[in-house]
Amino acid sequence: MNKILKILITAFLISSVCIPNLFANNFNVGIGLVVPLGASISQKNQTHNADADKNDGIFSGKSAFEFGVGITPGFYRGFNDFMGFSIALDFGYKREVFSYSQNKKIADSQYETVSTIYYFDTINLGLLPKFNVASFFIGIGGGVKIVVNGVEKIKNYGENNVQLKSPYIPYVKATFDYLFLFGDEMALGIGLYAGYDFGPHAIDSRFSKNILSAFDIGGQISFYFVNN
């Protein structure tokens, strides 16, 4: 994952140097402030150890609320009055939530279904190219979410810190905003986002593979400022 981080940082630095030169006087510096609010629809990929009880610890995915805040500093070029292009750093904080029903063993051949939720505080680092057509702003990008804290909460069993094989969650996402323009330098965006989180791998002695993942979908409010 360190290689992925280096690639993302290098790509942004290259874009910051090359893109303004490519578009010359038509390229402008800008920044966005984005607040996403939505749902995480959890997935899982689990493989028990050879000597483990194959019924113990199996997850069934559920949905949960998650939120964040981010900034998108970058560069924007308008081709004409109706079309434009931007490339920006996707940077911010996100509270990732992976929610499951777990089949938990309580005695020999006895199990109960308990709510199990993983909370991860993450710092996002990625790239987000966008096109605008008239007042519509469409973006497709990706990167990694760096886990700075993780907690597993099992109903009636309390909370524990999560141990991970890697503190990174690769992600991809798409955004769709409708812009309300206030002159040439500021806009309010109301829109939607959808994405997918690949990982993380939570360490559990019952499993040789215990990978959490999720579809993310929700709404977002954004503010954009461009230096014309």
- Give pLDDT tens digits for 89-134: 999 999 999 999 999 988 888 889 999 999 999 999 999 999 888 8
Residue 6 CA, chain-centre distance (Å), reads 18
Domain-located, residue 78: yes
Hey, how many other C-beta atoms are within 10 angstroms of the C-beta on 202?
Answer: 20
Tell me, what CATH number does 144's domain have? 2.40.160.20
The confidence score (pLDDT) of residue 209 equals 93
pTM for the model stands at: 0.83
- Give the CA radius of gyration of the chain: 21
- Decide if pLDDT at 210 tops 90: yes
Q: Is residue 15 part of a domain?
A: no
Question: What confidence score (pLDDT) does residue 157 get?
Answer: 87
The residues, ordered by sequence, that sit 6+ positions from 199 with a Cβ below 8 Å of its Cβ are 166, 168, 169, 170, 211, 212, 213
Q: Which domain holds residue 82?
A: 2-8+29-226
Tally of residues, the chain? 228
Asked whether residue 20 is assigned to any structural domain, the reply reads no
Model confidence pLDDT, tens digit, residues 49-101: 998 899 999 999 999 999 999 999 988 877 666 788 888 999 999 999 999 99
Instruction: Identify the weakest region by mean pLDDT among 33-37, 80-84, 183-187, 200-204.
Output: 80-84
Backbone angles phi, psi at 69, to 5 degrees: -155, 140
Residues 6+ apart with CB under 8 A from 196: 171, 172, 173, 213, 214, 215, 216
Domains in the chain, number: 1
47 within domain boundaries: yes
Q: Is residue 163, in this structure, part of any structural domain at all? A: yes
pLDDT computed for residue 71 by the predictor: 93
Q: How confident is the model at residue 9 (pLDDT cuts 50, 70, 90)?
A: low
Query: What are the tokens at 75?
Result: 């560069």
**167: in domain:** yes
- Residue 209 domain flag: yes
Report yes or no on 17 lying in a domain. Answer: no
Nearest to 103 by CA among 61, 49, 151: 61
Where b means 16+ CB within 10 Å and e means fewer, 116-135 reads: bbbbbbbebbbbbebebeee
